[in-house]
Amino acid sequence: MLISIAKQGPLAKLHGTVLVVDDVESVRKQMSQILRKAGVANVAEAADSEEAFEQLLAAPLVFAMVICDLEMGPVSGLQLLRLLRTGDGIPEALRKLPFVLATEYSAPAIVAEGKALGIDGFVAKPFTEGVLIKTVTAVFNNSRAIHSQSSKKKVVAWQDPMAIGDPKIDEDHRKFIALINAIEVINEKKLYAEIGVLLQKLGQFSEAHFLREEELMVSVGYPQVPAHAAQHRRTAKKFSEITEQFSSAKTVEQQKECCLLLSEVLNDIFVKHILKEDIKLKAWVGKNSSTRANRSFSDHKLAPESKGKAKKPKGGQDIEYLLPSYLEHLTRRLEYNIPEMPPPESGFTDFDKICEAAIHRRIDKVLLSFQRSNPDIIRELPHNFMQSKEFAWKFHEVVSKLISPSIMNSRQIRALAGNFDLSKMDTENFWRHLTGVVKEAIKDSWAESWDQFKLIESRKSGDVKVMLVKDRTKILRSMLQASNDVDYDLPKIGNREIEIFKSLLDPYNDWWLRLNKIWSIIHDVYEQEKDPRVFQQKAREGALRDSLLDAFDHIPELWGDFLILACHYVFPRISTQFLESFATNFGRNEKAREAYIPYTLHYLREVRLHPVIRLRENNEEAVWQDQVNQLRSYLTGRTTGHPGIGNDDW
């Protein structure tokens, strides 16, 4: 999808941000709508003079004009103007910033005071669309506005009020400001071809930053995580669309258009997201700083065992709990096996080979995310196929023999393959070097190749529906069949399985980082609700369920089933009884739930055929409850040792 800057209207050349200040929301929205219709790309809003001043002071060179109501709190529009023009320590850019006053009163005294302060224009309320546009256009064209728009370089500077109090996020925001300024340098020097490098950095940086910020919001209990995350996804989509447009640009003018568009988008994000939305986190970060500190307890080395209950901390250090050996595991985070990706391969001289290897690597990142395991827990039934290393090996073979040839034989891909410098590419950065056209061609060829395996619906006599299996699908089934019944569980491959196989490759998105962050959040919430350590506060009942349901919304729909099953194989107290309860979130009956979590339901049906599984889980739960009681008794001083063990044994 290509984006066009092509704005219409008399204010299309106003590239800065116009700040609309009014304490009546309907008036603000009306002004903003009129300005956008007239061609203003970036419009910010403030509900009062204090909010306006904070936005202006945080980014003085971002704004091109202020349109401000006269009567509002905590100070009037004229008082705000006086502060900007004559206040101590006001940046020079704000002293000269064009200022329009919107007022119902045209008293000579107000006009005279405004002119004395160097006001640039008045708008009488109630105003019409034509009057507002005429006034803003006149101000834009006067000497001060012209000077503001023709400055050689806009520089956005970091200001302390922008900080939210989390070092990593604040550092990210500093980097974001540096990227804004870099774009302005590119525009100033007309080095439009250089935008490609910046877009690559921006894509990598924004993905990591968004995940860090969402993880922080969850950790501090911020209540607006879904809405904030949705803004992140919309922003990422904008970056992706601009990157695709730049990849298709063939002239300097088209590259310039991308630069101008990116500059507007970045400034818009800075004003509306960082200064207005991210800053709301400041109160939550400060309020929850002590709780978040407790989560790092496991990073501290424990002292040798003693009979004391807790070692008194020095200064602001965490408490070190000293427990007997049979409870010592409760001072450590739950441990399990987390697969790691091997380093990327390079040195390819053939596009076909590096393309196939890069496809394998991107698929492996998804499959490895579901292959976590915990050797300390018992699960009698085999893994599902997405959790199996053997399935991953077999799937490699299927891709190499049945899918890759179709992709490489695509006429469009063959025509474009020679345009890339393979010496700079490896299996990790391969996708970042591709243009949007090539990515789309690979994506289409991948999907079309898998569609060739789909079963065909047919009707027999009596209008009975049957699914016809193609010969090539029989070959696919044979290649992916488990070597024995205990290796992994894969139903007879049908159209749903083929859709899952299709979902494993996404040329536009690398799911590795996001999936790992989701696991990290689930791990935290699991321990806090279901298996808390001595250094953790217990989470509310249902927190784990809600975290899992939220995770379903942040990954492809077909993967949620495998996430909950993978958690079952990693976390001891995510039992089959938890799975039964969790499944009720997807419908009132099993038929309704089948559309969302068919593999979990299949697993639970198998569990019901093996009563020993529930018996084992009940025994394990009894042991866990006994441990909790022992810990409680030990910490309150009601016992001095493990039942049946002398005090000298620990």
171: three-class secondary structure by DSSP = helix
Q: What is the mean pLDDT of residues 601-624?
A: 91
**319 in any annotated domain:** no
**62 in any annotated domain:** yes
Tokens read off for 453: 């395996």
CA distance 416 to 70: 60
Q: What is the mean pLDDT of residues 62-80?
A: 83
Reply yes or no on whether the pLDDT at 7 is more than 80.
Answer: no
Q: Which residues of 146-160 are buried (b: 16+ CB within 10 A; e: fewer)?
A: eebbeeeebebeeee
Number of Cα atoms under 13 Å in the Cβ half of residue 524:
21
Q: SS3 letters for 591-641?
A: HHHCCCCHHHHHHHHHHHCCHHHHHHHHHHHHHHHHHHHHHHHHHCCCCCC
| Pairing assessment for the beta strands 42-46 and 63-69 based on DSSP bridges | unpaired
**DSSP string over 64-102:** EEEEEESS-SSS-HHHHHHHHHH-TT--HHHHT--EEEE
Please, which residues have CB within 8 angstroms of residue 565's CB and are 6 or more apart in sequence? 384, 387, 579, 599, 600, 603
The pLDDT score that the predictor gives to residue 321 is 54
Report the percentage of the chain scoring pLDDT > 70: 84
The pLDDT score that the predictor gives to residue 533 is 67
Reply yes or no on whether the pLDDT at 379 is more than 80.
Answer: yes
Range of the domain at 169: 160-285
The whole model's pTM is what?
A: 0.55
Reply yes or no on whether the pLDDT at 294 is more than 60.
Answer: no
Would the CA dihedral through 148, 273, 204, 444 be positive or negative?
A: negative
Burial class (CB in 10 A: 0-12, 13-18, 19+), 524: buried
Is residue 174 located within the same domain as residue 135? no
Please, which residues have CB within 8 angstroms of residue 551's CB and are 6 or more apart in sequence? 518, 521, 522, 560, 563
Burial class (CB in 10 A: 0-12, 13-18, 19+), 543: middle
The pLDDT score that the predictor gives to residue 263 is 79
In 10 A of CB 256, how many CB atoms? 17
CA distance 156 to 243: 23
The pLDDT score that the predictor gives to residue 249 is 81
Q: What is the mean pLDDT of residues 341-345?
A: 91
Q: How many domains does the chain have?
A: 3
Which is nearest to 213 in space by CA: 509, 517, 519? Answer: 517
CA distance 30 to 34: 6
17: three-class secondary structure by DSSP = strand
Is residue 205 located within the same domain as residue 169? yes
Using 50, 70 and 90 to split pLDDT, how confident is the model at 356? very high
In contact, 2 and 254? CB cutoff 8 Å: no
Q: Which of 522, 555, 575 is the last residue of a domain?
A: 575
Q: Which residues of 322-358 are buried (b: 16+ CB within 10 A; e: fewer)?
A: bbbebbeebbebbebeeeeeeeebbebeebbebbbbb
Lowest mean per-residue pLDDT among 487-501, 582-596, 632-646 = 632-646
Please, which residues have CB within 8 angstroms of residue 21's CB and are 6 or more apart in sequence? 28, 45, 46, 47, 48, 49, 51, 52, 66, 67, 68, 69, 72, 77, 80
Reply yes or no on whether the pLDDT at 196 is more than 60.
Answer: yes
Q: What pLDDT digit, counting tens, does each position of 447-494 carry?
A: 999 999 999 988 776 677 888 999 999 999 999 999 887 889 998 999
In contact, 53 and 73? CB cutoff 8 Å: no
The pLDDT score that the predictor gives to residue 510 is 87
Q: The tokens 């020097």 sit on which residue?
A: 189
Is residue 522 located within the same domain as residue 473? yes
> Interior CA angle at 361 toward 246 and 562, to 5°?
105
Q: Which of 575, 607, 642 is the last residue of a domain?
A: 575
**375 in any annotated domain:** yes
Element (H, E) at 467: strand 464-468
Q: What is the mean pLDDT of residues 18-31?
A: 88
**DSSP string over 326-364:** GGGGGGS----B---PPPPPB----HHHHHHHHHHHHHH
The pLDDT score that the predictor gives to residue 633 is 76
Using 50, 70 and 90 to split pLDDT, how confident is the model at 272? confident
**268 in any annotated domain:** yes
The pLDDT score that the predictor gives to residue 606 is 93
Reply yes or no on whether the pLDDT at 309 is more than 60.
Answer: no
Reply yes or no on whether the pLDDT at 20 is more than 60.
Answer: yes
Which is nearest to 170 in space by CA: 226, 213, 225? Answer: 213
**322 in any annotated domain:** no
Reply yes or no on whether the pLDDT at 649 is more than 60.
Answer: no
Mean pLDDT taken over the chain: 80
Is residue 439 located within the same domain as residue 415? yes
308: three-class secondary structure by DSSP = coil
**583 in any annotated domain:** no
Q: The tokens 């891909």 sit on which residue?
A: 413
Q: SS3 letters for 27-49?
A: HHHHHHHHHHHCCCCEEEEECCH
Is residue 218 located within the same domain as residue 127? no
The pLDDT score that the predictor gives to residue 500 is 96
Is residue 434 located within the same domain as residue 556? yes
The pLDDT score that the predictor gives to residue 539 is 74
Is residue 421 located within the same domain as residue 348? yes
Is residue 364 located within the same domain as residue 509? yes
Is residue 470 located within the same domain as residue 430? yes
The one-character DSSP state at 507 is T
**617 in any annotated domain:** no
The pLDDT score that the predictor gives to residue 146 is 47
Tokens read off for 572: 């001891």
Q: SS3 letters for 182-220?
A: HHHHHHHHCCHHHHHHHHHHHHHHHHHHHHHHHHHHHHH
The pLDDT score that the predictor gives to residue 250 is 81
Is residue 449 located within the same domain as residue 408? yes
**Count of residues in the chain:** 650
**Better pLDDT: 109 or 616:** 616
The pLDDT score that the predictor gives to residue 150 is 44
In contact, 418 and 351? CB cutoff 8 Å: yes
Q: For position 206, which CATH number holds? A: 1.20.120.50
The pLDDT score that the predictor gives to residue 155 is 56
CA distance 385 to 491: 9
Most confident of 30-39, 105-114, 184-193, 364-373: 364-373
Q: Which of 554, 575, 596 is the last residue of a domain?
A: 575
Reply yes or no on whether the pLDDT at 504 is more than 80.
Answer: yes
Please, which residues have CB within 8 angstroms of residue 285's CB and are 6 or more apart in sequence? 164, 165, 166, 216, 220
The pLDDT score that the predictor gives to residue 145 is 42
Is residue 121 located within the same domain as residue 167? no
Reply yes or no on whether the pLDDT at 650 is more than 60.
Answer: no
Using 50, 70 and 90 to split pLDDT, how confident is the model at 389? very high
The pLDDT score that the predictor gives to residue 15 is 66
Number of Cα atoms under 13 Å in the Cβ half of residue 618:
5
**DSSP string over 95-146:** HT--EEEEES---HHHHHHHHHTT--EEEESS--HHHHHHHHHHHHHSHHHH
Q: The tokens 């904030």 sit on which residue?
A: 228
The pLDDT score that the predictor gives to residue 126 is 79
CA distance 512 to 340: 10
Tokens read off for 486: 């205990």
Is residue 179 located within the same domain as residue 118? no
In contact, 515 and 521? CB cutoff 8 Å: no
Tokens read off for 434: 């591709």
Reply yes or no on whether the pLDDT at 177 is more than 70.
Answer: yes
Q: For position 61, which CATH number holds? A: 3.40.50.2300
In contact, 272 and 43? CB cutoff 8 Å: no
Q: What is the mean pLDDT of residues 161-169?
A: 81
**Better pLDDT: 192 or 251:** 251
